[in-house]
């Protein structure tokens, strides 16, 4: 195995930071949508709004997991850089491998969340089309 240098985890460090920014933006947009749906539900309770809120709850939980795994990946990436700095090459390689696995897990959860989001939008568009056909 080739020796791990500081530049390898440093590249992952910047990529994970950008991914975490995207996850945070997604979380903030979901939070705003939850507030809007809650207000709508309080004014006029409906099964559709209740289902949308439940769907958003699932998506928020997945987003929280994505963020947690991404933060853990970033943490172990930094630990790996520190271990390289103090000369513990072999241990740093294992820690960096763990950071990569956590990043893969975070991206996997993100993929699942996107699938749920897409399904939610398809349901919403389907209800719009049904309403249009009734008119």
Please report the pLDDT score of residue 92 as a whole number: 92
Q: Where are the alpha helices (DSSP H) in the chain?
A: 7-43, 47-85, 89-134
Please report the pLDDT score of residue 102 as a whole number: 95
Q: Please report the sign of the dihedral spanned by the C-alpha atoms of residue 65, residue 66, residue 69, residue 74.
A: negative
Please report the pLDDT score of residue 73 as a whole number: 92
Can you read off the two tokens belonging to residue 66?
A: 């994505």
Measured in degrees and rounded to the nearest 5, phi and psi for residue 6 equal: -65, -25
pLDDT along the chain (135 residues), means of 10: 75 82 86 83 79 83 91 92 92 93 94 85 71 61
CA distance 49 to 67: 26
């Amino acid at each position: 195995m080739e020796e791990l240098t500081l530049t390898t985890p440093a590249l992952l460090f910047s990529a994970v930071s950008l991914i975490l920014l995207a996850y945070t933006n997604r979380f903030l947009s979901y939070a705003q949508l939850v507030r809007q749906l809650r207000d709508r539900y309080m004014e006029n309770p409906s099964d559709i709004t209740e289902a949308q809120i439940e769907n958003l709850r699932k998506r928020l939980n997945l987003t929280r997991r994505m963020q947690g795994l991404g933060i853990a990946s970033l943490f172990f990436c930094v630990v790996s850089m520190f271990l390289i700095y103090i000369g513990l090459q072999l241990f740093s390689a294992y820690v960096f491998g763990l950071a990569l696995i956590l990043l893969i897990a975070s991206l996997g959860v993100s993929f699942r969340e996107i699938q749920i989001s897409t399904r939610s939008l398809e349901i919403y568009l389907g209800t719009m089309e049904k309403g249009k056909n009734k008119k």
